[in-house]
Amino acid sequence: MTDEDTGMNAVLALTAWAVAAVVYVAARALDTEFSMFWVFGLAFGFVLQRARFCFASAFRDIFLLGHARNMKGLLLGLAVGSVGFGLVMSRQVPLTGLGIYPPSANVLPLGIHTGLGGLLFGVGMVLAGGCVSGSLYRMGEGYVASWVAFAGVMGGLLVSAYTWNWWWEAHIATAPRVWLPHWIGHPGALVVTLLALAAVYVWVVSIEHRAGVVVPPPASGARPETESVVDDLRSTLRRVFVQGWPVLPAGALLGALNVLLFTAREPWGFTGEVSRWSIGMASIVGAAPGPLAGVESLPGCVLVPSDGLFFNHMLFLVLGMFFGSFAAAVGAGEFKVRLPKRPVRYAQSLGGGVIMGYGAGIGMGCTIGAFFSAIPSLAVNGWVFGGFLAIGAWIGTLIIQRIA
């Protein structure tokens, strides 16, 4: 990329951030919570794009390539999140012997729906080439197939809403919510969680070693000679806004942002909000799924019935993630409209999206809500969902190798 390109990209990116600032001011005039969630969304989208922090590849590449780049970042993010969530929850529920749950942590009913939700989500995200957050940030980069996948997710969430009451009656209503601090106290739960994350780390490193050589990413991050303060600042700006980020700091930052969001209101997660959009659209055409049993009593990314309103704080989070990624991609010169040439890719993205959406509906969240925010909630459902995500990703990897 020439300096001229970089300058042009900087102008485009500054324009995008100016638009983001205008939205901030407008959102703040409606409700201060809207503007706060807009900023969180922008921050999540920016970090996801800069590091190309893809949950689907974190799982898939272990099986497909024997490569754990993204999984290592993910594990670090989970560890940072667990420490932060653990501290917050120990203040929210000081006495763990009373059977009380932290009000907004993602401690979800644990049952067959958790495993099947994770399994379907894992298959779907590999088929579609990205999970829900991955599709959102790739939509901002100009991947048309990710827009198709996102539409599929909306459809899958709607289908899950039609079957929700059956799941509720048969499984979810009576399923236990298993929160580790109830069993082993706050310190014990945190230590067990961190040890388990370390064990997964050892496992993925051993897989990498069995697979052999991993070529380090191109050394674009090499620091050029800096002669003046201006040069030095310019090189720092380039490393933040133009060059891709290493995945470890990005994972830690996403974990820390998640802790901040949890402290401010609730953990990171948004498939509940996306379900509100699809259920809302269905009700416009008179195809609403009807009352959803029990959803008001559940935390996390459980399905949200249409409330007839347009604005919601979570709307700003989701749109912020998309726009933050778009602004980041434009600034780095990574925005490009990418149209798959093979028709099968559109079918694959749509089908993968539908499968993912259904899994997120019954699993009460995606790789974020039911996993990245659930393991730090020191909840067993996060581990079960994650384990089945891995199995699903393995099955998905077998499938994509058979689709040319």
Partner 1 sequence: MTHTKLDVRGEICPYPMMRTVSALKKLPGDETTLEVITDHPPALETIPTQAARLGFRTDIEETATSEWRLTITRNEAEAEG
Given the rule CB under 8 A, which residues bind partner 1? 1, 5, 52, 54, 56-57, 60-61, 64-65, 67, 69, 128-130, 143, 145-146, 211-215, 217-218, 244, 333-336, 338-342, 345, 348-349, 400-401
CB of 353 to partner 1, least distance (A): 12
CB of 235 to partner 1, least distance (A): 19
Q: Residue 177: phi, psi to the nearest 5?
A: -100, 110
CB of 333 to partner 1, least distance (A): 5
Which residue, 265 or 338, is less far from partner 1 as judged by CB? 338
Token pair 């939205």 is found at: 23
Instruction: Report the distance separating Cα 322 and Cα 150, nearest Å.
Output: 12
Which residue, 98 or 404, is less far from partner 1 as judged by CB? 404
Which residue, 160 or 397, is less far from partner 1 as judged by CB? 397
Using CA atoms, how far residue 51 sits from 67, 132, 134, 242, in Å, is 16, 16, 11, 11
Using CA atoms, how far residue 55 sits from 91, 133, 331, 398, in Å, is 30, 8, 23, 18
Instruction: Report the distance separating Cα 76 and Cα 366, nearest Å.
Output: 19
CB of 200 to partner 1, least distance (A): 21
Instruction: Report the distance separating Cα 137 and Cα 327, nearest Å.
Output: 10
Instruction: Report the distance separating Cα 266 and Cα 218, nearest Å.
Output: 38
Using CA atoms, how far residue 231 sits from 206, 224, 243, in Å, is 41, 9, 16
CB of 340 to partner 1, least distance (A): 5
CB of 222 to partner 1, least distance (A): 14
Which residue, 130 or 376, is less far from partner 1 as judged by CB? 130
For the purposes of burial, counting CB atoms within 10 Å of the CB of 310, is it exposed (0-12), middle (13-18) or buried (19 or more)? exposed
Which residue, 56 or 161, is less far from partner 1 as judged by CB? 56
CB of 382 to partner 1, least distance (A): 25
Contact present, 17 and 293 (Cβ < 8 Å): no
Helix, strand, coil abundance in the chain, percent, nearest 5: 70, 0, 25
Which residue, 49 or 312, is less far from partner 1 as judged by CB? 49
Find all residues with CB under 8 Å of 77, minimum gap 6, and list them: 251, 252, 253, 254, 255, 258, 372
Which residue, 120 or 128, is less far from partner 1 as judged by CB? 128
Instruction: Report the distance separating Cα 375 and Cα 196, nearest Å.
Output: 10
Which residue, 163 or 401, is less far from partner 1 as judged by CB? 401
Contact present, 267 and 106 (Cβ < 8 Å): yes
Instruction: Report the distance separating Cα 26 and Cα 10, nearest Å.
Output: 24
Q: What is the DSSP string of 141-198?
A: HTBHHHHHHHHHHHHHHHHHHHHHHHHIIIIITT--B-BHHHHHHHHHHHHHHHHHHH
Which residue, 59 or 372, is less far from partner 1 as judged by CB? 59
CB of 401 to partner 1, least distance (A): 7
CB of 224 to partner 1, least distance (A): 17
CB of 136 to partner 1, least distance (A): 14
